[in-house]
Structure 1
Amino acid sequence: MHPTARTLAIVLALGLATSAFCASTVDIQVTGTLVPSACTPVLSVSTLHFGTVSSADLHPERPTALIEHAPTLTVQCGTPTLYGLRLVDNRAGSAYGPGVEGRLGMGRTAADEQIGAYHLDVDPERSTIDGRRVFLSLGDRTGNLWGTSTAQPMALPTSGSLLGLVDRAGVDTGAVAVQVAQLGIRAHGLIAPARGLTLTDAVPLDGHVTVELVYL
């Protein structure tokens, strides 16, 4: 039995047992949606290689920008499907800098120092949904509350929020159903100031992130 189904079965069994001992009752409504087909996200590259950077090229007092990448994220669904996108940072806690939405970690030095950070932004100018222009909207983790859709680039969120794909600007009703999304990604990163890094040996950049598609 699926864990979710097992939890529901226990809750319902407890409710029935309780009703046998008291007159008061409570109704529980169970809702959900079965989607007709799954969606598959595919990135055009498997690795984002930011190159080799000499410690002599790092600024001592401020972050040093890395080369940028421009891969494409394709989401293919069997039929038009409503969903949101977000990231799971598998190196959580290692991102350098303030808590900006979408900030991803690059690992730590041997001295446990944060190496740097990177973002994966969706660029509407390089993106389409079912051949149409795309706008972006940021929603909460439930997909019930959404911000106003915009043509400005937006980072794929890491806080549990959802990035929705919209076909119009200036609306706050959330994502629309999409069958094929072609999303241009801007991958940009930085290395922390050299003054705060112990660089006696070569330090590998160790980022790892999962793109999560959430059905709405």
Structure 2
Amino acid sequence: MKRLLNMLTLVAAASAASLSHAAPSVELKVTGVIRPAACTPILAADGVVDYGSISAGALRHGQTTALPARQIALTVSCNAAAKIALTVIDNRASSRVAGITDSIQAGNAYNFGLGAMAGKKVGGYVLSFQDGATADGRSVTSIVSTDNGSNWNAGSGYIQHQGQYFSFTGNGTQPVAQKVLSTLITVNPVLNKAEELPLDQDVPLDGSATIEVKYL
């Protein structure tokens, strides 16, 4: 019995010692993650504007040949309303033919290359935004910035391949925040002069441009 009492006394003392060293405070934590909006650009038809088979006989000596304009739908979908801009990069810049888009009243700043074949440059094309764009179903118009979005002006519709941000507005002055932007891009290609192309073989049109989303 005496041994049992001694053991109980030791246990009680140990418990008291433990309680005397217990922390006098407890931490409350507030956690979470602020995530920026994420937007994804999607082009119809997998981004391909296909002109199919073009007869070499349709090309002219001493003159460039403009192909019919075609349109492709661009949709930018965001997981939350966001103000965004678009930039467009010419992936075939080395194949630009100086002055080839002058015939459609678009200077070299708007001239995208159509690739090259056997050392010969195929031609160029111009991109432009069509009227009728919408942001979350509301009508918007294009605007352009030359200082990375600090200031905005009414857009001409034509898309430059460097130095400009393109966005859309409902009030004419500032980009609008939206979850879904829908617009049409018009493509106007111009083929090089017949004598500048290796027409004894297939000559592919190889235009390529990257559309990037910038968050404002």
Same topology, TM > 0.5: yes
Q: Structure 2 residue aligned with 1:105, among 113, 130, 138?
A: 113
| Whole-Å separation in 1 of the counterparts to 2:35 and 2:73 | 25
Measured after TM superposition, the shift of residue 35 of structure 1 is 6.0
Measured after TM superposition, the shift of residue 197 of structure 1 is 2.2
Q: Secondary structure at the match of 1:155?
A: coil
Show the counterpart of 1:166: 169
| Whole-Å separation in 2 of the counterparts to 1:157 and 1:175 | 18
Greater helix content: 2
**Does structure 2 conserve the Cα–Cα contact (< 8 Å) formed by 1:96 and 1:114?**
yes
Measured after TM superposition, the shift of residue 209 of structure 1 is 1.5
Query: Is 2:48 the counterpart of 1:41?
Result: no
Q: Which runs of 5+ in 1 are unaligned?
A: 1-33
Show the counterpart of 2:8: none
Q: Deviations over 1:121-149 (max 9, x none)?
A: 11023x211211111111125211322x2
Query: Is 2:130 the counterpart of 1:123?
Result: yes
Query: Is 2:76 the counterpart of 1:84?
Result: no
**Does structure 2 conserve the Cα–Cα contact (< 8 Å) formed by 1:120 and 1:185?**
yes
- Root mean square deviation of aligned Cα: 1.9
Show the counterpart of 2:204: 204
**Does structure 2 conserve the Cα–Cα contact (< 8 Å) formed by 1:50 and 1:67?**
no
Show the counterpart of 2:12: none
Measured after TM superposition, the shift of residue 72 of structure 1 is 0.7
Ranges of 4+ aligned residues in structure 1 off by more than 3 Å: none
**Does structure 1 conserve the Cα–Cα contact (< 8 Å) formed by 2:113 and 2:124?**
yes
Equivalent AA in structure 1 for residue 60 of structure 2: H
Q: Secondary structure at the match of 1:93?
A: helix
Q: Secondary structure at the match of 2:117?
A: coil
Equivalent AA in structure 1 for residue 109 of structure 2: E
Percent sequence identity over aligned pairs:
30
| Whole-Å separation in 2 of the counterparts to 1:157 and 1:166 | 19
**Based on CA coordinates, which of the two structures has the bigger radius of gyration?**
2
| Whole-Å separation in 2 of the counterparts to 1:97 and 1:55 | 22
The structure-2 alpha-carbon separation of the partners of 1:123 and 1:97, relative to structure 1 and needing over 3 Å to count, comes to same
Equivalent AA in structure 2 for residue 215 of structure 1: Y
| Whole-Å separation in 2 of the counterparts to 1:156 and 1:39 | 20
Query: Is 2:65 the counterpart of 1:64?
Result: yes
Q: Deviations over 1:103-134 (max 9, x none)?
A: 21111120x22111112211023x21121111
Equivalent AA in structure 1 for residue 130 of structure 2: D
Query: Is 2:200 the counterpart of 1:194?
Result: no
Measured after TM superposition, the shift of residue 63 of structure 1 is 1.6
Equivalent AA in structure 1 for residue 42 of structure 2: V
How many residue pairs get aligned? The number is: 175
Q: With structure 1 as the length reference, what TM-score do the two structures score?
A: 0.74
Q: Which runs of 5+ in 2 are unaligned?
A: 1-33, 100-106
